[in-house]
């Protein structure tokens, strides 16, 4: 990936080094699986994920799915392993469970996938629907990235290393998404911080982009 391509992805040039420049394009095998159950079913649910349907979605204005956005989340902040992300995305967050929750419980947000620290994958919204993950956003001359993107939340924070299990799950899911939705390519994988640079910082400096991309070689 050339630096000019990376610069086109973001509005703030100070963030360019946060995503690596690759010497060559990772190879993705786009051939369909033969005589195997598809890992993304006809209703756009991932068969290897736990299903936790969220009410926070709507229809895409068009059928386009052409961008993958990586985020992070932890609830309470920098605490891992609890049920609170699922509760948050399903509008059932208990404001008495932590003082911070009173600040966010009114929000209606979601992502398509959530990858926990142990690599467990949870799906909230089918991929053909519009999850509410990006908010005000801009990518390659277009606003409203929710319209055409898939959002993946990594359990974590900007300055703490993600786990080996998470990278393994993310790599597996990314390959499957590229196979299922060919308008997504390795040129069209980005972070929330790049599409909303004035207000978001995730997945942060702790996220190793090079590790994701090199792991996509099949």
Of residues 24 and 86, more confidence is placed in 86
What does the pLDDT read at residue 37? 67
What are 97-128's pLDDT values in tens digits? Answer: 999 999 999 999 999 999 999 999 999 999 99
What are 61-95's pLDDT values in tens digits? Answer: 999 999 999 999 999 999 999 999 999 999 999 99
- Is there a domain that residue 24 lies in? no
What does the pLDDT read at residue 35? 41
Instruction: For residues 21-31, give the mean pLDDT.
Output: 45
pLDDT at residue 33 tops 80: no
- Is there a domain that residue 22 lies in? no
Residues with Cβ within 8 Å of residue 48, at least 6 apart in sequence: 39, 121, 172
pLDDT class of 217 with cuts at 50, 70, 90: low
Nearest residue to 75 (alpha-carbon basis) of 54, 48, 58, 93: 93
- Is there a domain that residue 30 lies in? no
pLDDT at residue 202 tops 80: yes
Say whether 161 sits in a helix, a strand or coil: coil
Say whether 14 sits in a helix, a strand or coil: helix
CATH number at residue 178: 3.40.80.10
What are 122-162's pLDDT values in tens digits? Answer: 999 999 999 999 999 999 999 999 999 999 999 999 999 99
Domain total of the chain:
1
Nearest 5°: the CA angle 34, 216, 2 is 130
pLDDT class of 215 with cuts at 50, 70, 90: confident
Q: What is the pTM of this model?
A: 0.85
Q: Would residue 25 show up in a list of annotated catalytic residues for this protein?
A: no
Question: Parallel, antiparallel, or unpaired for β 129-131 and 57-59?
Answer: antiparallel
Which residue range forms the structural domain that includes residue 177?
3-10+52-214
- Is there a domain that residue 166 lies in? yes
Distance from chain centroid for Cα 96: 28
Q: Of the listed 103, 153, 155, 160, which one is catalytic?
A: 153
What are 12-21's pLDDT values in tens digits? Answer: 333 333 343 4
CA distance 41 to 60: 19
Could you write out the three-class secondary structure of 29-73? CCCCCCCCCCCECCCCCECCCEECCCCCEEECCCCCCCEEEEEEE
- Is there a domain that residue 32 lies in? no
What does the pLDDT read at residue 218? 46
Question: φ and ψ at 13, to 5 degrees?
Answer: -65, -20
């Amino acid at each position: 990936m050339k630096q000019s391509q990376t610069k086109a992805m973001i509005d703030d040039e100070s963030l360019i080094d946060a995503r690596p420049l690759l010497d060559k394009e990772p190879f993705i095998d786009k051939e369909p699986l033969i005589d195997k159950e598809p890992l993304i079913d006809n209703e756009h649910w991932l068969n290897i994920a736990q299903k936790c349907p969220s009410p926070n979605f709507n229809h895409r204005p068009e059928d386009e799915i052409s961008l993958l956005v990586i985020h992070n989340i932890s609830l309470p902040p920098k605490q891992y392993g609890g049920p609170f992300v699922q509760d948050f995305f399903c509008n059932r967050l208990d404001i008495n469970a932590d003082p911070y929750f009173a600040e966010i419980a009114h929000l209606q947000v979601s992502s398509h996938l959530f990858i926990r620290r142990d690599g467990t994958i949870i799906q909230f919204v089918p991929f053909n629907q519009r999850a509410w993950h990006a908010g005000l956003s801009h990518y390659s001359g277009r606003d409203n990235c929710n319209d055409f993107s898939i959002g993946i939340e990594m359990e974590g924070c900007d300055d703490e290393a993600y786990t080996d299990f998470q990278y393994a799950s993310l790599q597996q899911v990314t390959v499957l998404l590229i196979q299922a939705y060919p308008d997504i390519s390795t040129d069209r994988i980005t972070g929330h911080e790049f599409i909303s640079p004035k207000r978001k910082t995730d997945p942060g400096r702790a996220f190793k982009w090079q590790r994701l991309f090199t792991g996509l070689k099949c």
